[in-house]
Amino acid sequence: MLKIKIPASTANLGSGFDSLGIALNLYNYIEIGPALGCEISSADGSEIPTGEDNLVYLSAKKVFEKCGLPFRGLKIVEENHIPFARGLGSSSACIAGGVFGANELLGRPFTKDELLDIAAEIEGHPDNVSPALLGGFTANAMEGRSVRYVKSEVPENLSFAAFVPPFELKTADARAVMPAEVSLKDSVFNVSRSALLTASFLSGKFENLRTACDDKLHQPYRLPLIPGGTEIIEKSYKNGALAAYISGAGSTMMAIFDYGNEKAEAIAEEILSSGDFSGWKYFILNADNSGTAVL
């Protein structure tokens, strides 16, 4: 049995809808090995699908199919620390762990770039699976079935305060509230900011992030689905955040600080104690620059 470590991820980063993401040092772990049939269990007691519809299993099976090899089954043991349906890449972690683990079992027939193409095909977009597999900050675009990306390492001094509410927000529901069309003005607004966001991460000009994370494509429509979300953004900026935004499709709200983890934790505690945030919790995280790996 191989043991795989897969990082959480925060995607969109405001203006980079379906294209930008960062890996974070909150991890799921998967043990995976050959079996006759489907053997799936949870090491931490979390409720997971234990049949062939399990996303880790389906993703691993896809790699076997791409190789043209017979698939007889797998034994999978999951240890999940990434919250489900909270915008921190739990589904992408399953996909990344499945394709990576299967590739290791098969003797690495695919490069990481090829695994990314397979993972993005399963997920439908690369913004979470790319940093989950590769680590760091990634800017991504789909060209047919291939992912074109640039990866940059994220400095250790940046702290990511993930504010996690006690309710889920399914990606399908978050997408359903978005308009089918947007104006040219709003499109230009987002294109300029996502370009600035990417350039700022690549160059280290993090003072640009507040402007660069501003968005008109998805956040104005999704924030009403997250009671307290607007307040988290406002309070984060009042406390000196470099950026504050909906993580992925939500419901987690993310703030980025350059104060160090200890001060970021104090700010997060103060924010959640200063309003009606019953049941909310927070994680103070840093970027993971390595991505999915065998332990």
Specify the pTM: 0.95
Q: In the prediction, which pLDDT does 223 show?
A: 94
Q: How far is CA 174 from CA 80, 85, 103, 195, in A?
A: 23, 11, 32, 24
Per residue in 6-24, pLDDT (tens digit) is: 999 999 999 999 999 999 9
Tokens representing 17 are: 């809808």
Tokens representing 213 are: 């994370």
Rounded Cα distance between 13 and 95, Å, is 21
Distance of CA 274 to the CA centre of its chain: 28
Which class would CATH give 159-285? alpha beta
Rounded Cα distance between 295 and 276, Å, is 41
Give percent of the chain with pLDDT exceeding 70: 100
Secondary structure (3-state) at 123: helix
Per residue in 166-196, pLDDT (tens digit) is: 998 888 888 899 988 999 999 999 999 999 9
Instruction: Report, at the CATH architecture level, how domain 2-153+290-294 is classified.
Output: 2-Layer Sandwich (3.30)
Going from N- to C-terminal start, the domains of the chain cover 2-153+290-294, 159-285
Beta bridge partners of 60: none
Rounded Cα distance between 8 and 249, Å, is 14
On the question of a common fold for 2-153+290-294 and 159-285, the answer reads: no
Phi/psi of residue 100, nearest 5 degrees: -65, -45
Q: In the prediction, which pLDDT does 172 show?
A: 84
Per residue in 241-261, pLDDT (tens digit) is: 999 999 998 899 999 999 999
